[in-house]
Amino acid sequence: MTFPCKILLLGSGELGREFVISAKRLGAFVIACDSYENAPAMQVADASETFSMLDGDRLREVITTHQPDYVVPEIEAIRTEILAEMEAEGVHVVPSARATQLTMNRDAIRDVAALELGLATSAYHYAETLHEVREAASDIGFPLVIKPVMSSSGKGQSKVESADKLDEAWKHAVGIMRGDRQRVIVEQFVDFAYEITLLTIRTREGVLFCPPIGHRQERGDYQESWQPAEMQEQSLADAQNMARKVVDNLGGYGLFGVEFFVTKQGDVIFSELSPRPHDTGMVTLIGQNLSEFDLHARAIMGLPVPHIGLTAPASASAVILADRDSSEFRFAGTAEALALGKEGAEVDVRLFGKPVTRTYRRMGVALATGENTDDARALAKSAADKVTILHD
């Protein structure tokens, strides 16, 4: 039998794992790649490759060996120049090599959004020395946020309230910086009323949107999300217009997670985006007819998406985090979590199968539906609290 397509997945975390399941349900053959063995997506893929995707030679070699129909990046830390070179040689990169290159660095995507497309963003400057950080701060004012241009999940990010704390924030950002550039973005702190992820799908038939997802972050990292986020019609229309402009500029087909802040007045501010499924979008695993992973797979494979709809009035997800570094552990309480479900208030969990825990590492997620987002959030949180990680 011939597979409808062969997919090379670059990055094999929890989002990759769900994507593999969706793609395999549509018959795809998937090779999952990551820097360590037995990563979550590898456990459900047809084949795997273990290597550093920041190693350009290895990356080229693996793509050349497998000759995939689609190269699907799941993470940002990839030698994206190689993807651009290989796209020019005829390799199909999802959604496009340009999208992976621009979103790998905060400065690149921010410049496209703010300068090229004229989207509203927070005031910002880039800095490569402490002196430049101070200059940027004197222009922007306090509070402000400092982030490495290359990082994710809030790593190296700090909110700074006063000038005497700039030194510490600069060192924190530079200390954990991925890649070879000592460069940070110094950004005005936005006192938003709420923030959303707008899952935006670019298909051959046009651009589609999922109902907006609300979320809450701690330490710059995702804690819980819910859908639909309640928002004014005009704010939603503004967010959709902005998302459409960005994804059309980046090009290609697939699902994008576009992040916005919304102020008390309803003004929408573009923050950043992922050209791939988004962690806050895991809530769609329970609340939509097609999850963000199903939608990504369909858009990539050129399959139709006739309808995106909610299957419950509201849904929510809450993360299950580790509290220490360990490779000897087991989960307890899954049964108690699942037992919380009932008609109209369903509960499910996803345990990612990561081989080791680290402090604050996301090990799983609890999912719930409800009559409204408050109920769904409370239920997802209760279910997540039931699942514990034992180290005995």
Ligand X SMILES: Nc1ncnc2c1ncn2[C@@H]1O[C@H](COP(=O)(O)OP(=O)(O)OP(=O)(O)O)[C@@H](O)[C@H]1O
User: Is 272 a catalytic site residue?
Assistant: yes
Exactly one of 272, 348, 375, 385 is catalytic; name it.
272
Number of residues that bind ligand X (CB under 6 A): 19
User: Is 358 a catalytic site residue?
Assistant: no
Place of tokens 């701060």: 137
195 is in an annotated binding site: yes
With beta carbons less than 8 A apart as the criterion, state whether 213 and 280 touch: yes
| 152 makes contact with ligand X (CB under 6 A) | yes
365, HSE (Cβ side, Cα atoms, 13 Å): 24
155 is in an annotated binding site: yes
Helices 233-250 and 97-104: crossing angle in degrees, nearest 10, is 120
Nearer to ligand X, 122 or 203 (CB): 122
Binder among 154, 266, 313, 353 for ligand X (CB under 6 A) = 154
Binder among 42, 53, 145, 290 for ligand X (CB under 6 A) = 145
Which pair of structure tokens corresponds to residue 349? Answer: 């969990």
| 122 makes contact with ligand X (CB under 6 A) | yes
* 3-state helix vs strand vs coil in the chain, percent to 5: 35, 30, 35
User: Is 65 a catalytic site residue?
Assistant: no
Binder among 18, 34, 87, 259 for ligand X (CB under 6 A) = 259
Separation between Cα atoms, residue 181 and residue 179, nearest integer Å? 6
| 105 makes contact with ligand X (CB under 6 A) | no
**199 phi and psi angles, rounded to 5 deg:** -75, 120
Q: How far is the CB of 371 from ligand X (least distance, A)?
A: 27
- The answer to whether the peptide bond before residue 68 is cis (omega within 30 degrees of 0) is no
Q: How far is the CB of 18 from ligand X (least distance, A)?
A: 17
Task: Report CA 18 to chain centroid distance, whole Å.
Answer: 13
Place of tokens 């400092």: 146
- Where in the sequence numbering do the catalytic residues fall? 152, 154, 259, 272, 279-280, 362
Q: From the annotation, which residues make up the binding site?
A: 14-15, 74, 106, 147, 152-157, 187-190, 195, 259, 272, 279, 354, 361-362
- Residues near ligand X (CB under 6 A): 122, 145, 147, 151-154, 157, 187, 189-190, 195, 217, 220-222, 259, 271-272
